[in-house]
A = this chain, B = another copy of it.
Amino acid sequence: MKPFALSKVYQLLEPGPVVLLTTVRRGTANVVAMSWHMMVEFEPPQLACVVSNANYSFGGLRAVRECVIAVPASHLAPVVVKVGNSCGCDTDKFAAFGLTKVPAASVTPPLIEECFANLECKVTDTRFVNKCNIFILTVLKAWINPAQKNRKTLHHSGYGKFVIDAQAIKLKSRMR
């Protein structure tokens, strides 16, 4: 893993990829698929995400207040679906679906080796959790995995339907 500039983290998440969220609950790491997230601030990078209180990851995220957001490329679509369709309450999803845990530098939940980007995050605001399951996260450290060459992300539009990034276009713009 290679460090990635915090000032550019928004370029990973602003396009709306489905991500994998790792958490720790009672000492055990878990992972879930997540599409409901958005950037909130450029730098230090802050984001908001929705983790349902019906979800096993919710308890760990609220208690430990740390997580990793790992960005999978398109070839991991079948793994993303398996992760999203199983529960950490009865499955070690890392072992079951071939995801490799890598220790993070500043948080307890692990990075995922197979993802091309990993963001170590701290929960910095829980005031919106009771109202609508929204957690505010601050990215402490970001990593790019040079071994993962495929960086085309997946965008979920319901029931296992994904669109994959294709052509990139670059227009002259001042918009950050």
Contact = CB atoms under 8 A, between A and B. Distances in A.
A16 B132 contact: no
Contacts of A160: 170-173, 175
Interface SS, A side: mixed
A159 B132 contact: no
Contacts of A176: 158-159
Interface residues of A, number: 57
A38 B49 contact: yes
Contacts of A157: 11-12, 14-15
Interface of A: 8, 10-12, 14-17, 33, 35-41, 46, 48-50, 77-78, 81, 84-85, 125, 127-128, 131-134, 136, 152-153, 155-176
A78 B14 contact: no
A17 B172 CA distance: 19
Nearest to A128: B128
A15 B175 contact: no
Contact of A159 (B39, B78, B173): B173
Nearest to A85: B174
Contacts of A14: 16, 35-36, 155-158
A133 to B, nearest CB: 8
Contact of A40 (B15, B125, B134, B169): B134
A123 to B, nearest CB: 14
B169 A164 contact: yes
Contact of A169 (B35, B36, B37, B161): B161
